[in-house]
Amino acid sequence: MVSPELARERDYVSTLYARLDALRDETRAQLEAVQRGSAGGTHQARTERDAFARLYEDRIAQLGEVDERLAFGRIELDDGAKRYIGRIGLRDADQQSILLDWRVPQASAFYRATAVTPLGTRARRHLTSQGREVIRIEDEVFDRALLDGDTTELQGEGALLAALTAERTGRMTDIVATIQGEQDRIIRSDLAGVLVVQGGPGTGKTAVALHRAAYLLYSHRERLRSSGVLIVGPSPSFLQYIEAVLPSLGETGVVLSSVGQLYPGVDTTLEDAPEVAALKGHARMAELIARGVKSRQRVPAEPQVMDVNGEKLTLEPHVVATAMAAAQRTRKPHNIARQQFQKAVLRALAATLADQLRSHGNTIDDSDMGWLLEDLRASYDVRVALNTAWMPLTPEKFIQDLFARPQWFASLTPRWSPAERALLRRDRDQPFTVSDIPLLDEAAELLGEFDQANDTERRERKRQFKRDVENAEAAIRNMGVEGLVDAEELAAGFGETAARGTTAERAAADRNWSYGHVVVDEAQELSPMQWRLLRRRCPLRSFTIVGDVAQASAAAAAPNWTEALRSLTDAFRLEELTVNYRTPSQITQAAEEVAIGHGLHVSRSRAVRASEWPVEQFVVAPDELGDAVIDVVDEDRELDSRGTLAVIAPPSLVQAQYLALRERFGATVGRGARGLSLPIAVLTPQEAKGLEFDAVVVVNPHDILESSTRGVGALYVAMTRPTQRLRIVGTRALALDAESSREPLAG
Ligand SMILES: Nc1ncnc2c1ncn2[C@@H]1O[C@H](COP(=O)(O)OP(=O)(O)OP(=O)(O)O)[C@@H](O)[C@H]1O
């Protein structure tokens, strides 16, 4: 029997869906109209129509994305008016608002109102739906008279707990229906400046960062549409885990990048050994690279005799020195300043050559200087001399040479120990690693465009885009769709620019792109050199930085945010998240105890819920470890065959564990990122960063502890991934609460 209230909500929500369908139909009709017209007309008219068509297709896709849980809440205002809150805003045919976008200021009360501070509301209602049908309503009435000091801080507790205990799919979902007050404040915080969000595992940092990106894109659409938002995560598997969240909030067009993809043209997941990564990440690498670039501008020790068209010409060191000093004074990047240097040397040489020719009785006047310069440019000797003094360089070649030429490297690092230098030594043909990315970027910054054409082309592209936006504005006026279609977005689909894709695609491919906002997740892992790179990506310094200093795994990780961000800024706002939404209290407690027991300073958090399963530990003989892991996994699959399970093993064991599990469980097991879409994923703690699973089996925790100087951080990460069950299988007992150990393995 459906209650009258539920029936009323069902009716209301079905009118919302009817409206959504109508909008979809309207957009489809617009698309068809545009497609029908696309055969004839001028080239300009055709590109405009194509751009409109793409825009309508995107809009249709976007309306499809928000179908699931379109409306999820309602607030009742003091005056009795009711406002529905949903993924997007909707107006009826008379332009009356029937659904508020969760990001508009009026919707904030839905997330923040409490009985103590009701923010102009009398009640809040959570709507839980299945498909398009509301199946449950949950009411909170803000009546101060009912306050007895025992009020929960959680908003929409029923809906929240349902979301938190739902089975995991290997993909993060949005939390828009159940954002909590402390999270909402962060999500809606100002765009300007650097905002740091610190919180223990599972406190919703990633969720908050993504919802903040969606909020900023909505509230600062004008600015961020054209400049774009960059979201940086630790690894491709993490990006795969989060990639569906923003589209489900109706936002596409952000650039998602792992730290190994931040330098256009290189895409790597290769990690250096921790001590190598620590050296490469240190801020002093910036000075080293600057010295390295400078050292490629060299005044020859001796005069050089050159052959120019049969004429012997001497290049004196002081001529090179004067030209070099003048070019260096411009403070332009190496490859750009080189052009000035080259011109100055050639002019000086041409004058000498002219004098020489005159001394042989030739008449040389100003009009002859052009061909003299041509002769000089064509001379092999001159080219060699110019290049030896000032070689044009690509960042790739520069960094390859830096580590492959020990003598040059030693000359740049007089204060380094031979052991430190040896750590960075490598052959020229070795592939780039994640910690090379900021070095390449630093070098690119100091070297400038190798090819001047690129520079000119970039400027021309910018000018073209400006023209395209003006044309788009005119086209929008002509079509009578002002306010419905965004000119920048439309322009991105025009002719020349279209070949290079959307704003996001263009931004991702352009090292010199200035983003309007940058979101960094798992930010505790970033090195000073990586922060320098990100600073260049957003000169306005508008950042959302989320992370947990306790979970850092890098050997050189900073102990606090002031230290960690030294290369980015010294001014930031710090917010903390304190409620753990992921891990049940037993697991949170076990993980925190182990971490603190091994000297890690963790941010303690309060778990929202307990789980019905205790943390279990199995201690086995070394030769039984593989079988024991299989048994524990087997047992867990029997308990819950539909959820996700991760086996988190130390790097030294992970491959063997994967093969053993694969033999037993076949294609349901995947290694690394591939495992995320499968029931069983086998991962290292590093790969498990930021992810979550219904159940986790941690293998040989002592090996994880001892695998690096930050082993305790890695174990803490591993233990805090489950939403339901944590099991530990090892050859040595981990000091846990006595009750949790089972010895030997049951069954
Ligand atoms: N308000 C909320 N409503 C529903 N689920 C939530 C809420 N806040 C967080 N969660 C869920 O809690 C889990 C943990 O969130 P998230 O991954 O963002 O945490 P985190 O702080 O980034 O964790 P870690 O530091 O371990 O990576 C996710 O499943 C997320 O969807």
Shared-domain flag, residues 302 and 317: yes
pLDDT value of residue 499: 52
- 289 domain residue, yes or no: yes
Residues 10 and 92 in one domain: yes
Put the strands of the sheet holding 97-101 in their side by side order: 90-91, 97-101, 82-86, 71-77, 121-130, 133-141
- Residue 739 confidence (pLDDT): 46
Residues 639, 525, single domain; the answer is no
Segment 160-209, tens digit of pLDDT: 887 888 878 778 888 998 999 999 999 999 999 999 999 999 999 999 99
**Residue of minimum CA distance from atom 9 in ligand 1:** 204
Å from CA of 232 to ligand 1 middle:
17
Between the CA of 537 and the centroid of ligand 1 the distance, in Å, is 27
Structural domain that includes position 492 = 453-496
The backbone torsions φ and ψ at residue 99, rounded to the nearest 5 degrees and listed phi first, read -150, 130
CA-closest candidate to residue 216, choices 547, 515, 578: 515
pLDDT digits (tens, 9 = 90+) for 489-510: 777 766 555 555 667 788 888 8
Q: Please indicate whether residue 548, judged by its CB atom, sits closer than 6 Å to ligand 1.
A: yes
Q: Mark the binding-site residues for ATP, compressed into ranges.
A: 199-206
User: Residue 724: phi, psi to the nearest 5?
Assistant: -130, -60
Domain count, the chain: 5
Please report the pLDDT score of residue 148 as a whole number.
53
253 pLDDT band, cuts 50/70/90, is confident
Residue 581 has pLDDT above 80, yes or no: yes
Residue 149 belongs to a domain = yes
d(CA 366, CA 354): 10
Please answer whether residues 684 and 568 qualify as being in contact, where contact means their C-beta atoms are separated by less than 8 angstroms: no
- Closest-CA residue to 16 (of 75, 66, 59): 66
pLDDT of 38 above 60: no
The pLDDT assigned to 496 comes to 52
581 CA from centroid of ligand 1 (Å): 6
Give strand pairing partners of 727: 616, 697
- Inside any domain, residue 406: no
Residues 625, 681, single domain; the answer is yes
Residues 479 and 384 in one domain: no
Atom of ligand 1 nearest to the CA of 548: 25
Judgement on whether residues 87 and 102 belong to the same structural domain of the protein? yes
650 close to ligand 1 (CB < 6 Angstrom) = no
DSSP SS3 for 82: strand
d(CA 128, CA 146) in angstroms, rounded, equals 25
Amino acid at 437: I
Task: Output the CA 16–ligand 1 centroid distance in Å.
Answer: 29
| For residues 372-400, average pLDDT | 94
Which among 580, 601, 619 is the end of a domain? 580
From 692, 694, 696, 724, mutation site for ligand 1 pocket: most ligand atoms within 8 A of C-beta = 692
- pLDDT band of residue 741 (cuts 50, 70, 90) is very low
Please tell me whether residues 332 and 230 are part of one structural domain: no
In this prediction, residue 743 carries a pLDDT of 43
Q: Is residue 224 part of a domain?
A: yes
Residues 6+ apart with CB under 8 A from 478: none
Q: Which residue has the CA at smallest separation from atom 1 of ligand 1?
A: 179
Phi and psi torsions of 733, nearest 5°:
-80, 140
**Tokens at 155, concatenated:** 């908003």
DSSP 49-65: HHHHHHHHHHHHHHHHH
Q: For residue 42, what pLDDT band results from cuts at 50, 70 and 90?
A: confident
Rounded-to-integer distance, Cα 351 and Cα 376, Å: 11
- Alpha-carbon gap, residue 211 to 108, rounded angstroms: 13
Domain end among 525, 552, 580: 580
Pocket test for ligand 1, best of 152, 165, 175 (most atoms within 8 A of CB): 175
Residue 163 CB less than 6 A away from ligand 1: yes
pLDDT at 742: 42
Average pLDDT (104-132) is 90
Residue 167 CA, ligand 1 centroid: distance in Å: 14
* CATH number of domain containing 567: 3.40.50.300
Amino acid identity of 566? R
Q: Position 27: which residue type?
A: T
Residue 203 falls within a domain, yes or no?
A: yes
Looking at the domain assignment, is residue 190 inside a domain? yes
Do 209 and 145 belong together in one domain? no
Cα 170 to ligand 1 centroid, rounded to whole Å: 13
Q: Is residue 335 part of a domain?
A: yes
For residue 198 and ligand 1, the question of a CB distance below 6 A is answered with no
List of residues 6+ apart from 524 with CB closer than 8 A = 547, 548, 549, 550, 551, 552, 557, 558, 564
With a pLDDT cut of 70, the percent of the chain lying above it is 93
**Residue 416: pLDDT above 80?**
yes
Centre of ligand 1 from the C-alpha of residue 609, in Å: 13
Q: Looking at residue 133, what DSSP letter applies? A: E
Query: What pLDDT was estimated at residue 489?
Result: 72
**What is the average pLDDT across 461-476?**
78
pLDDT at 144: 62
Residue 452: pLDDT band with limits 50, 70, 90? low
542 lines ligand 1 (CB under 6 A): no
Cβ partners under 8 Å of residue 83, min gap 6: 74, 75, 77, 100, 106, 107
Q: How far is Cα 5 from Cα 369, in angstroms, rounded to an integer?
A: 92
Q: Please provide the average confidence, as pLDDT, over all residues in the chain.
A: 88
Give the C-alpha separation, 609 to 616, whole Å. 18
Residue 747's pLDDT band (boundaries 50, 70, 90)?
very low
For the CA of 547, the closest atom of ligand 1 is 25
649 and 723 within one domain = yes
The predicted pLDDT at position 580 comes to 92
Please state at what angle helix 274-281 crosses helix 284-295, rounded to 10 degrees: 70
- What gap in Å lies between CA 194 and CA 517, rounded to an integer? 10
Same domain, 93 and 207: no
Of 143-147, 429-433, 597-601, least confident by mean pLDDT is 143-147
The angle at the Cα of 665, spanning 663 to 668, to the nearest 5 degrees, equals 120
**pLDDT over 60 at 658, yes or no:** yes
pLDDT of residue 545: 97
207 CB under 6 A from ligand 1? yes
Candidates 167, 581, 587: which one to mutate for ligand 1, based on the most atoms within 8 Å of Cβ? 581
Examine residue 533 and state whether it is found in any structural domain, yes or no.
Answer: yes
Do residues 215 and 120 share a domain? no
Q: Rounded CA gap, 557 and 716, in Å?
A: 15
Instruction: List the one residue out of 637, 620, 624 whose CA is nearest residue 728.
Output: 620
Closest CA to 91 of 9, 162, 8, 22: 22
What's the whole-number mean pLDDT along residues 723-734? 95
Compute, in angstroms, the gap from residue 582 CA to the centroid of ligand 1.
6
Are 83 and 75 spatial neighbours (Cβ–Cβ below 8 Å)? yes
3-class state of residue 472 by DSSP? helix
> Does the beta carbon of 202 sit less than 6 angstroms from any atom of ligand 1?
yes
For residues 535 and 464, state if they share a domain: no
| Predicted pLDDT at 397 | 95
DSSP reduced 3-state for 198:
strand
- Pairwise CA distance, residues 2 & 135, whole Å: 9
- For the segment 600-634, what is each residue's pLDDT rounded down to a tens digit? 888 788 898 888 889 999 999 999 999 999 999 99
pLDDT tens digits, one per residue of 520-554 = 999 998 999 999 999 999 999 999 999 998 877 77
Angle of the 452-479 helix axis to the 334-359 helix axis, nearest 10: 130
Q: 567 CB contacts (<8 Å, ≥6 apart)?
A: 283, 528, 529, 531, 532, 535
Q: Which residues pair with 198 in a beta bridge?
A: 547, 576
> Which residue has a Cα nearest atom 26 of ligand 1?
201
- Asked which of 521, 549, 580 is the last residue of a domain, the reply is 580
